[in-house]
């Protein structure tokens, strides 16, 4: 295990309702979601202890959000980590959260 994020792959595992970030065959972390129509609600993110502090969760969330955008899904960031990631990268991701719900998630600043 090295610090090179390029070695990781992020895959959607719809049967488990989660995106997984993998280091080879090992699941290094995941973010659970629920999909309903054109909405995806992120509810929980977890990274294995040996992968914490290596940027794995951020890589996972950015890939999951990029996939949501590509699939035309509106994002509901109930998971605190996903919400925090969007709050730190508003120019890239805040638009994924429905405008009428941004204030609910504390993302309404700057419009």
Q: In what order do the strands lie in the sheet with 74-77?
A: 8-13, 18-23, 26-36, 39-47, 74-77
Question: pLDDT-derived band of residue 2, with 50, 70 and 90 as boundaries?
Answer: very low
Distance CA 27, CA 95 (A): 29
**Rounded distance between C-alpha atoms, residue 102 and residue 87, angstroms:** 10
pLDDT at 41 over 50: yes
pTM of the model: 0.92
Cα separation, 72 vs 89, in Å, equals 19
49-68 burial code (b ≥16 CB/10 A, e <16): eebeebebbbbbbbbbbeeb
**Mean of the pLDDT values across residues 27-35?**
98
């Amino acid at each position: 295990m090295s610090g090179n994020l390029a070695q990781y792959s992020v895959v959607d595992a719809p049967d488990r309702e989660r995106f997984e970030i993998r280091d080879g065959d090992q699941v290094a972390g995941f973010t659970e979601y629920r999909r309903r129509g054109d909405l995806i609600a992120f509810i929980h993110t977890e990274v294995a202890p040996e992968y914490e502090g290596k940027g794995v969760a951020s890589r996972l969330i950015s890939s999951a959000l990029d996939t949501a955008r590509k699939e035309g899904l509106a994002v509901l960031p109930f998971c605190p980590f996903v919400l925090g990631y969007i709050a730190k990268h508003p120019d890239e991701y805040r638009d994924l959260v429905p405008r009428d719900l941004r204030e609910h998630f504390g993302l309404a600043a700057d419009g």
